[in-house]
Structure 1
Amino acid sequence: MNKSASALLSALAGASALLLIATTPASANPNAINPIPVLNGSSGLPNLGGRTRAVFQMTGLASPNNTQSYNVLGTDLGIMWDNGDGEMLTAFGDTAGLGLPNLLAGSTWAWRSNILVRSHTHDPANGIYFDSVVRDIFGQARDLIPSPKIPFVEISRIPTAGISINGVQFMSMMSVRTWDDIGQWTTNFSGLAASGDNGETWADLTNARRPNEGANANFQMNAFLKNGGYVYEYGTRSGRDRAAYIARVREGDIANLGEYEYWEGEHWSKKGDVDAAAPIMGGVGELSVMYNEYLGQFISLTTDPFNSVVMRRASSPQGPWSDPEVLIDTRELPSAYAPSIFPFQTGRDLYFLTTVHSQYNVILMRTTL
C-alpha cells in the first residue's frame, strides 16, 4: 500500500471500526459498508478454490489504481463497455469517499451514485489500469447524473449497462426509491443518459424512461448487447432473483421506446408492445451479456438465487439459454454480486468484474473456459 493510502487508513481507523461489515450475501442498502482494508476483514484478494481466480483489485485503498487519489475509497457495479474507439469506459455505482456524510441516505460517507473512469487495457492478465476519471473542480470523481439522494424520492441513480452507438455513449440507469430487504430494492424508473464527449458530460434522456409499472417494470435493471445492427436490451425487475426479458431495437433508435420489439417466446413482437415480452431465464440478479468468440456462443453472467456467480450459454441473443454453470460458489465468496464481462476478447480466458460487498470494492476475476 502506498504512503497516502497508509496515512488515510490511519486517520480513518477509529471511525471505521464502528461501521457494519457484511458477512451475509450482499445486502440491498449499500450505505452500511466499510471500505477500509483489514478493518472490514479483507487482507488481499479473495482466495478462491473453484474454477475462478481473483486477479486484481480495481478500486479502493488496496488497489494499484490508487482511486483514493480522486476520493474513491469504495464502490460497486463496475459496468464496462468499449467506447467504439478501442478505449474501455467503466461506470461505477454507489461510491464512498471522504467529505460531508450523507446522513439522510443513511451513509456516514460522502456519497456519489455514478462515476466513470477510462482505460486502454486490452490484456487484463496483470490487471486493468485506469488512465483518466471524470472529475469535479476539486479533482474528485463526480456524479455524471445528479441524484437528490432523498429516501422515498430518489436515494440513488445507478448505472446498470453501457454501450457506444456511432460515437455516442449511452448508459442505462435505475432510479432507486428505497432499499428494501437483502437483495431487494424499489425503483421509480429506468432510463437512458447519453454523452457525446466520451463520458465527460451526460444528458438525462427523460423521454426514454421506463416507469416501474406494468410490463415496463420488467426492464428496470438492464444489460446491453450489440449484434447484427440491433441493440439487445436484457431487463429484470428491480432487485435480485428475478426473471429476465429481452427487447431489441435498431442501433439508431436506442432512445425511442416506441421502436423496441420484444421476444414473445417464439418470435419478435410488433414495435412498442412491451406487454408481449416473455421470460427468457430465471433467478437473475445484475446481468451482463456478450458474444464469446472462443465458445462461438453468447454468454451471460449473473448471480443465482443462492448468490453464486453463474454463466449461461446460448446460440442466439434471445436463447434458449443453458442451465447455469457456477463460476464462483457462494460458499467461497458469499457477498459477491454484479458480474460484468470485460468487453474485449481474451481467448479461452473469461475476465469479468464483480463487487465484493464485505469490502465494498470491485475485483477483476478470471475463469478459464
Structure 2
Amino acid sequence: MTTASLAAGTLSLLAPVASAAPCDPWPPAGIGGGSGSLGGSSGGSIGAPGRPATPWHDGGSGYIPVLEGRTTTVELLTGPTSPNNTVERFGIWGTDLGIMWENGGAGGEDQVHMALGDTMGDCDEPGDQWRSNILFRSGDRTLHDGMRIDNAPMERTGMAKSILPRSNMPGETTVIPTAGVEVGGVQYLRYMSVERWGTPGEWTTNYSALARSADNGDNWQPVSGTARRGTAPMPLPAELGEEFTRHTDGQMSAFLKHEGFIYEYLTPSGRSGSARLARVPEADIEDMDAYEYWTGTGWSDEHRDARPVLGAPTVNTAVSELSVTYSEHLDRFIALYNNRQNNIVMAQAETPWGPWSGEDIVVSYSQVPTLYGAFVHPWSPAVETDGEDLYYTMSTWDAYNVFLMRTDLSDIPPRNVPNPNARMRTTDDSWTRNTPDPADTGETVLVERRSLPGA
C-alpha cells in the first residue's frame, strides 16, 4: 500500500435526465443509499429507483477503504485527493467502473485504455457536467505505487468528453461501457443502453451493441448490425441499423483474446444472472453471424443453445461486472466478478469454457459493503509474467470513484484440477470448494476508512 498515494488523494454536454443526476442530494428521497453505473451493493443502482447520489456532495463523506494483507488498497484513481488530479485535469469529481484493455500500440504507443461509466464534474455547474462515459489512457507499467493517467479524449481543456453520448431518445437514461478489446489497431467497446435503474442490483436495457475507434479512442462510432435487443421497447438509433437479434442474456460482456479468437462472456442486465460464452475470429468481430456459442459440449451458431459457464447453480452463484484474462502466474484463465453475496471473487479454469473452479474472495463485502466491479489490469505481473501481484480496479457507491487494488496470488490456496480418468473418487475437493473469507481468517485486514473531502 502506498500511503502517499492514498492520502494525496466541440461536443456539448448533454443535460442529465431527472432519473440520472449524479449530483442529487444525499440520500435520495425514499432510498437508503446507492450510486454507481452498475449498482450499489447496499442502496441499489445509480437510481434505485433512479436517483444516483454521492454522499460527499451534500456534506457527507465517502471514504477510502484501506486494506492490508492478501489484498491491499493501492490508491484512489479518480476524484478528490487522487494523485491523478482528475478534478482539475478532466473535470471529474465522481465516476466508476474502470474497464481496462491493451490498445495494441495504436497511435504509436503501448497504452492501457480504461473505460468509465456515468461521470460527474462540478455539481455547482448547470447540468453537473454529467457525462455518460469517459476514456482514460495510461502507459504506466509500475503499478505498485499507483497508476498514472496520461490523457483522455477531451471536449475542451479541463473537461474529458463523453465518448459514447446518450442518444437523447425517450427511454434511454444512459449508455454504459461493459467491455473493451483491440483488434488490428482498432479499439472496440461493448456497451449497453440503459432504459432505467430498478430495484437494488437490477436494471433494464434497451440493447447492447459494439462501437469502434480507429484513432486510439478519441472518436467512436456504433457498428451497424451489432445490436442485441434487451427487454425495453426503445427503437434503435439509426446508426445501429436493424437489430441482429433479441438476446436478453447478452446485454453485458467481458472480452478475452486467445489463440486468434475473441471470447465474449455474456451476462444479462442486472446482478443475478449467469455468464454464457461466445467466440468469434478476431478479424470477424463486427460480423455477428460469425459468432458461435458454447453449448456445454461444443459450439453452436445459435445463441439460444448457449449454456452457462459461470453462475449456474452447480458452478457458482451469480456473476456480475465480469473480467476474464489469462494468468501466467497460475498458468490458468482467471475471472473476477461480483457474486451473489457481493464479494469480489476469483475463479480459475484451464480453458475459456471451463470447468471453472470454486470462488476465492479477493475483496470481502464485510469489509467494503459498498463495493462493485472488478476489472483486471492487463499489465499486472501475475498476468504478464510469473509475478504474484494481480492489480484491478474497484468502485464503491459511496465514494463514487475508482480504486486500484492489489491481490497477492501466491496467498490464494492452490487448486488441483480433478482427473476425469481417475478410477476412484478422491478427497481432494480443492477445485470445487469456495475458500474461506479472508476477512474472517485475518488474511486481509481493514485498517482504516479514510474520509474523502466534501465536494
Check conservation: 2:41, 2:371, Cα contact below 8 A. Answer: no
Match of 1:291 in 2: 326
Q: Are the counterparts in 2 of residues 51 and 367 from structure 1 also a CA contact under 8 Å?
A: yes
CA distance in 1, matches of 2:87, 2:114: 17
- Equivalenced residue count is 347
Q: Distance in 2 between matches of 1:47 and 1:116?
A: 26
111, 115, 119: which one aligns with 1:95 = 119
Match in the other structure for 1:12: none
1:351 to 391, 411, 418: 391
Unaligned 5+ runs, structure 1: 7-15, 103-108
The answer to whether structure 1 residue 131 and structure 2 residue 162 are counterparts is no
Q: Does 1:177 align with 2:206?
A: no
Alignment of 1:140-151 (within 5 A): 140-148=159-167
What is the deviation of 1:185?
Answer: 0.4
Confirm or deny: 8 A CA contact 2:24 2:52 kept in the other structure.
Answer: no
Letter in 2 for 1:162: G
Match of 2:208 among 161, 178, 190: 190
**Conserved? CA contact 2:319–2:337, under 8 Å:** yes
Do the aligned partners of 1:35 and 1:361 also contact (CA within 8 Å) in 2?
no
What are the equivalent positions in structure 2 for 1:353-368 lying under 5 Å apart?
353-368=393-408
State the match for 1:10 in structure 2: none
Partner of 2:102: 82
Q: Deviation of residue 42 (structure 1)? A: 3.3
- CA shift, 1:50, in A, is 5.9
d(CA) in 1 for partners of 2:102, 2:402: 19
CA contact (8 A) 2:230 2:251 kept: yes
Aligned partners of 2:358, 2:43: CA distance in 1, in Å? 23
SS in 1 for 2:275: strand
Bigger radius of gyration, 1 or 2?
Answer: 2
Q: Distance in 1 between matches of 2:184 and 2:328?
A: 23
Residues 76-132 of structure 1: CA deviation (Å, up to 9, x unaligned)? 110111001221111111101126555xxxxxx332111011110112110000111
Give the partner amino acid of 1:74: G
Tell me, what secondary structure is at the counterpart of 1:219?
Answer: coil
Using the alignment, how far apart are the partners of 1:28 and 1:53 within structure 2? Answer: 26
Distance of 2:263 and 2:171 partners within structure 1 = 30
How far is the alpha carbon of 1:26 from its aligned partner?
5.6
Letter in 1 for 2:117: G
Partners of 2:24 and 2:175 lie apart in 1 by 28
CA RMSD of aligned residues (A): 2.3
Contact 1:40 1:358 (8 Å CA) reproduced:
no
Name the stretch that deviates more: 33-42 or 324-333: 33-42
Please give the per-residue CA displacement for 1:129-158, whole angstroms capped at 9, x wherever unaligned: 0111111035411111110466x6110110
Indicate the residue corresponding to 2:439 in structure 1: none
Unaligned runs of 5+ in 2: 10-22, 28-32, 35-39, 232-244, 312-317, 382-386, 410-455
Question: Match of 2:44, as an amino acid?
Answer: S
Q: How do 1:23-62 residues align onto structure 2 when only pairs under 5 Å count?
A: 25=42, 27-29=44-46, 31-34=51-54, 36=56, 39-43=59-63, 45-48=64-67, 51-62=70-81
Q: What residue in structure 1 maps to residue 445 of structure 2?
A: none
Contact 1:292 1:345 in 2 (8 A): no
- Counterpart contact for 2:66–2:72, Cα < 8 Å: yes
Task: Give the aligned residue type for 1:366.
Answer: R
What is the aligned counterpart of 2:179 among 148, 157, 161?
161
Which residue in 2 is equivalent to 1:279?
308
1:300 lines up with 2:335 in the alignment: yes
Structure 1 position 52, deviation (Å)? 1.2
Partner of 1:106: none
- Name the residue aligned to 2:419: none
Once the two structures are TM-superposed, the CA of residue 37 in structure 1 deviates from its matched residue by 8.1
Deviation at 1:40, TM superposition (A): 4.0
1:42–1:29 Cα change, 3 Å:
closer
TM-score by length of structure 2 reads: 0.72
CA distance in 2, matches of 1:197, 1:35: 37
- Identity rate of aligned residues, in percent? 39
Match of 2:361 among 296, 311, 326: 326
Q: Structure 1 63/149 Cα, relative in aligned 2: closer, same or farther at 3 Å?
A: farther
Is the 1:215–1:274 Cα contact (8 Å) retained in structure 2?
no
* Residues 202-241 of structure 1 aligned to structure 2 (within 5 Å): 202-212=220-230, 216-241=247-272
Does residue 316 of structure 1 match 2:333? no
2:348 partner letter: R
Q: What amino acid does structure 1 have at the position aligned with 2:406?
A: R
The answer as to whether partners of 2:115 and 2:134 remain within 8 angstroms in 1 is yes
- Residue 54 and residue 207 in structure 1: after superposition, are their counterparts in 2 closer, same or farther (change >3 A)? same
Q: With structure 1 as the length reference, what TM-score do the two structures score?
A: 0.89
**Structure 2 contact 323–374 (Cα < 8 Å) conserved:** yes
Instruction: Note closer, same or farther for the CA distance 1:18–1:137 as it changes in structure 2 (3 Å cut).
Output: closer
SS at match of 2:307: coil
SS in 1 for 2:249: helix
Matched with 1:114 is: 133
2:176 alignment partner, SS class: strand
Aligned match of 2:376? 341
CA distance in 2, matches of 1:77, 1:278: 27
2:287 is the alignment partner of 1:256: yes
Amino acid at match of 1:136: E
